[in-house]
Amino acid sequence: MSLRIGHGVDAHRLAEGRPLMLGGVEVPHGRGLLGHSDGDVACHALASALLGAAGLGTLGERFPSSDERWRDIAGADLLGAVGVMLADRRATVLSAQVVVIAEEPRLQPHLSEMARLMARALGLPAGTVAVSATTTDGLGATGRGEGIAASAVALLDVPA
Ligand code: MG
């Protein structure tokens, strides 16, 4: 077994008139995340961690914002595309964890659904992806509610 870890981080700004997509779940909130895509920071951080662990480069390299194919791509669809890349590389995801950093809304009721949807998008057994959430106690941009961030780690078996 050739174990590799990956770490991904993402943040997007909150804006009026957008659905809030996190981990593939539409979370009821007055504002949503702005982005070239749907701004799903949980999916983006996880995708970044997975690509990094597999040695497949960065999210920006793999999904350039200049490429119309990826315009408005849903986070879950982006994870699906990463899942195909991992399969091509014969990489196996052993476990992953995503932490969403948001002052509001309260995410606890949605965490298990986010974990389920992200694992499914990647074609992984339920339970492979764990999701938690935290606030920054009012500190910084996430604390002021200007945006939402996420951090993810992943452990993969990547054959040499
Ligand atoms: Mg992003």
- Amino acid 84 reads V
> Are 53 and 156 a contacting pair, CB within 8 Å?
yes
Ligand 1 centroid–CA 89 distance in Å is: 23
Q: How far is CA 66 from CA 6, 15, 35, 59, in A?
A: 25, 22, 13, 13
Ligand 1 centroid–CA 1 distance in Å is: 31
Ligand 1 centroid–CA 109 distance in Å is: 23
Q: What is the pLDDT of residues 108-151, one digit of tens each?
A: 999 999 999 999 999 999 999 999 999 999 999 999 999 999 99
> Which pLDDT belongs to residue 72?
83
Angle, helices 75-88/41-54, rounded to nearest 10 degrees: 10
Q: What is the pLDDT of residues 59-111, one digit of tens each?
A: 999 998 888 888 889 999 999 999 999 999 999 999 999 999 999 999 999 99
Is the entire prediction scored with pTM above 0.85? Answer: yes
Q: Whole-angstrom Cα distance, residue 131 to residue 116?
A: 9
Ligand 1 centroid–CA 138 distance in Å is: 22
Residues lying with their CB under 5 A of ligand 1, a single-atom ion: 10, 44
Q: In what order do the strands lie in the sheet with 31-33?
A: 31-33, 3-16, 147-157, 92-101, 129-134
> Which pLDDT belongs to residue 154?
98
Q: What is the pLDDT of residues 10-65, one digit of tens each?
A: 999 999 999 999 999 999 999 999 988 899 999 999 999 999 999 999 999 999 88
